[in-house]
Structure 1
Amino acid sequence: MKRHILVLGAGFGGVWSALSAARLLDLNGSTDVQITVLAPQAELRIRPRFYEPNVHEMKASLAELFDATGIQFVEGVAANIDTSGKRVEYIAAPGVHSWLSYDKLVLATGSRLNRPAIEGIERAFDVDEIETAACLERHIKALADYPESEARNTVVVCGGGFTGIETATELPARLRAVLGADAKVNVIVVDRGAEIGAALGKGISPSIAEASAHLGIEWCLDASVAGIDTNGVTLADGRHIQAQTVIWTVGFRASSLTEQVPGERDSLGRLHVDANLKVLGQNDIYAAGDVAYAATDDEGHYAAMSCQHAIALGRHAGNNVAADLLGVPTTAYRQPKYVTCLDLGEWGAVYTEGWDRQLKLVKEEAKTLKGNINSIWIYPPIAERATALAAADPSIPVA
């Protein structure tokens, strides 16, 4: 009977884990190991683009890619991990529960937006999933049917981090496309920071401030949301902002499946892993993507919850889980180069290098780079075996 590598999740970490494992098995002529990906859909959802319009297009089918590379796909939602029995329970359809056994497991189930216990939080939209982003898109398109008012034309974005900024700077154009080119639209970012873009550091914040001024985006600083109602947002200091659209972008946590794996976790729920991305204290479980708390270098930096890191983490986790089974040398995960490319709507974009975010490109130059990242670089390889497996080499730099 074939030995079994089970990969949970078909996001960036999961897809590249499966491909990288297949690559190493192929290089070693191994035919007695089966790779299975368990996920709700056989598609890579391009989550970094969910702030854009036409969000239903932000996905790439994986069926042909998996067929070309000999990776088995099982449709279902992982529900329970039995680490002692080395098996995973999953829900294949409502009321249908099944189990998959494994010799080695790669946990790559990603992260989710964390909604705090704030009154009315259920009224807020988000761009965390295709389905929720599509709900926001339908709402924006429907605004034209509402009577004109300041509240109708106002969107409050809760959170001034990466997701909040990209969402906010895209909104003026999206709103005018619906309400008219001359419509007076109001986009307000509510953020705890003392300065615009403070969460992203001094190297990048001046560009965010310039873009915000150019686009007419208002920042409500040193502020937090106390409640959301049908008329808008109430801040902790008692101020109320009238808005018919509120978008929540604050706080992400690793998949709750990490809680079923004995091991140390960081404040975001990510499992501590060694240099090979094996979960500390576990012999047969690896982690990739947003569920892995992994050192990128020897200077105290750890992988961020981003596709930039998830792709490289997947390439290494898949390689090493296969190497573990085959008894061949592993490849330690290291990703010393870190870049940031932040979309800033019609103003352009900003590109920085290093953890201190040294400014390299702005406006149109950075926007062109961002376009390549979003439409080419983060998509899966073509469904041709040799090309796809070669693309999963862990020695390939991501940034």
Structure 2
Amino acid sequence: MKQQILVVGAGFGGLWSALSAARLLDKHDRNDVVITLLAPQAELRIRPRFYEPNVHAMFAPLDALFDSVGVRFVKGSAERIDEQARTVGYRDESGRQHELSYDRLVLATGSQLARPPVPGLEAHAFDVDQIESAARLENHLKSLKDRPYSLARNTVVVAGGGFTGIETATEMPARLREVLGEDQDIRVIVIDRAPQIGAALGDGIRPSIVEASDHLGIEWVLGTSVAAVDANGVTLSDGRHIESNTVIWTVGFRASPLTEQLTSVRDGLGRLHVDQNLKVAGQDNIFAAGDVAYAATDDLGNLAAMSCQHAIALGRHAGNNVAADLLGVQPIPYSQPKYVTCLDLGAWGAVFTEGWDRQLKLVKDEAKQLKTQINTIWIYPPAADRATALAAADPMIPVA
């Protein structure tokens, strides 16, 4: 009977895990191991682009790629992990429940937007976390033109001044004017509890965020947070109310709740502690990749962020090492010492930094060209050609 490697999740971590496992099996000429990938869709959803318009097109089909490398795809949503029986229970698109067995498992089910119990949040706020929710926001923005003018119609409130909040906010003036007209007086307001603009991104990148915000007319309300959302806007923790028909929540992410089903150590965001080979702490047969992995990137105390930059490399290493573990060959310890930041700042441009201390390297048009290259080429999957795909899955390829 053939042995089974099961990868759960078709995001960056899951896709590259499957490809890398296939690469190592091919390298050792092994045909006695089946790689199965379980996910709701056979597509890589390009989540870093969900703040952009035309979000319905932000995915790449994976069927042909999986066929080219011999990865079996199963369509369904994972619901249960039984680490003793080595099974994963899932529900198919018709709602029926099934099980898949594994000899080795890679959990790569990603992260999701945290939704705290803020009154009115579920009923009235939008987000850019998934294609479906980002498409809902896009349809809402397009519908604003059918409403009579009001301050609320022309105002967008973005809750959260982190990476996602900034990219969403700086894209919004152009998106609003495309719908409402270039002559419209629009407002985009970022609500952030931090005392400074872009506080989480550091001093090196802050001046660019400030300049872009001034250029685009984006307002920042600092030192406060959203206490409630209603049909007409938001109430802040300091009691102020801002009128808006469009409130976008971007605050906080948590690892997939499937991590809670394993008897393993997790961090405050629900990520599973892993060793240098990305095997989950306390588990003999389970590895983790992408946003569910609490992984050291170097020997200096830096940890992988919830980003495709880290998920791609984590996937390549997890896939290689899960196959290596099954075959009894030497694993490749995960290491990703190089860290970069490329932040889109709308029509102003972008900003690119290197290092964990975010040393400024490119700004405005130069950085925007690089960001466009990253978003439209670099993070997409390889061509559905066996040799090309397997070569691209080499864990020793540096990811910046």
TM beyond 0.5:
yes
AA in 2 matched with 1:95? G
How far does residue 328 in structure 1 lie from its aligned partner after superposition? 0.6
Aligned counterpart, 1:286: 287
Aligned counterpart, 2:72: 72
Distance across 2 between alignment mates of 1:305 and 1:377: 17
Aligned counterpart, 1:139: 140
Aligned counterpart, 1:175: 176
How far does residue 93 in structure 1 lie from its aligned partner after superposition? 2.7
Q: How does 1:350-361 map to 2 (within 5 A)?
A: 350-361=351-362
How far does residue 244 in structure 1 lie from its aligned partner after superposition? 0.5
AA in 1 matched with 2:86? K
Aligned counterpart, 1:119: 119
Q: How does 1:162-201 map to 2 (within 5 A)?
A: 162-201=163-202
* Structure 1 residue matching 2:118: 3-state secondary structure: coil
Distance across 1 between alignment mates of 2:95 and 2:358: 49
How far does residue 36 in structure 1 lie from its aligned partner after superposition? 0.3
How far does residue 182 in structure 1 lie from its aligned partner after superposition? 1.0
- The C-alpha deviation readout for 1:318-375, integer Å capped at 9, x for no partner, is 0000000111100000000000000000000000001110000000000000000000
* Structure 2 residue matching 1:93: 3-state secondary structure: coil
Over the aligned positions, Cα root-mean-square deviation in angstroms equals 0.5
Q: How does 1:147-162 map to 2 (within 5 A)?
A: 147-162=148-163
Aligned counterpart, 1:263: 264
Aligned counterpart, 2:247: 246
Distance across 1 between alignment mates of 2:57 and 2:232: 32
AA in 2 matched with 1:141? K
AA in 1 matched with 2:91? I
* Structure 1 residue matching 2:373: 3-state secondary structure: helix
AA in 2 matched with 1:387? T
- The C-alpha deviation readout for 1:92-127, integer Å capped at 9, x for no partner, is 134300000000000000000011001001110000
Distance across 1 between alignment mates of 2:160 and 2:309: 22
AA in 1 matched with 2:277? N
Distance across 2 between alignment mates of 1:185 and 1:28: 60
* Structure 2 residue matching 1:193: 3-state secondary structure: coil
How far does residue 242 in structure 1 lie from its aligned partner after superposition? 0.3
* 1:17 and 2:17 aligned: yes
* 1:298 and 2:299 aligned: yes
* 1:102 and 2:102 aligned: yes
Distance across 2 between alignment mates of 1:115 and 1:88: 26
Distance across 1 between alignment mates of 2:239 and 2:182: 33
Distance across 2 between alignment mates of 1:391 and 1:59: 19
Distance across 2 between alignment mates of 1:323 and 1:93: 33
Distance across 2 between alignment mates of 1:93 and 1:22: 27
Q: How many residues are paired up?
A: 399
Aligned counterpart, 1:129: 130
Distance across 2 between alignment mates of 1:8 and 1:230: 38
AA in 2 matched with 1:375? T
Distance across 2 between alignment mates of 1:315 and 1:248: 32
* Structure 1 residue matching 2:99: 3-state secondary structure: strand
TM-score computed with the length of structure 2 as normaliser: 0.99
* Structure 1 residue matching 2:137: 3-state secondary structure: helix
- Structure 1: gaps of 5 or more residues: none
- The C-alpha deviation readout for 1:160-210, integer Å capped at 9, x for no partner, is 000000000000000000000111110000001111111111110110000
* Structure 1 residue matching 2:126: 3-state secondary structure: coil
* 1:362 and 2:363 aligned: yes
AA in 2 matched with 1:398? V
- The C-alpha deviation readout for 1:247-305, integer Å capped at 9, x for no partner, is 00001000000001111000000000000000011000000000000000000000000
TM-score computed with the length of structure 1 as normaliser: 1.00
Distance across 1 between alignment mates of 2:235 and 2:92: 42
AA in 1 matched with 2:233? G
Distance across 1 between alignment mates of 2:174 and 2:224: 26
Aligned counterpart, 2:389: 388
- The C-alpha deviation readout for 1:116-149, integer Å capped at 9, x for no partner, is 0010011100000000000000000000000101
- Structure 2: gaps of 5 or more residues: none
Q: How does 1:226-237 map to 2 (within 5 A)?
A: 226-237=227-238
Distance across 1 between alignment mates of 2:191 and 2:155: 13
Distance across 1 between alignment mates of 2:375 and 2:93: 32
Distance across 1 between alignment mates of 2:158 and 2:95: 37
- The C-alpha deviation readout for 1:22-65, integer Å capped at 9, x for no partner, is 00000000110000000000000000000000000000000000
AA in 1 matched with 2:144? L
How far does residue 159 in structure 1 lie from its aligned partner after superposition? 0.0
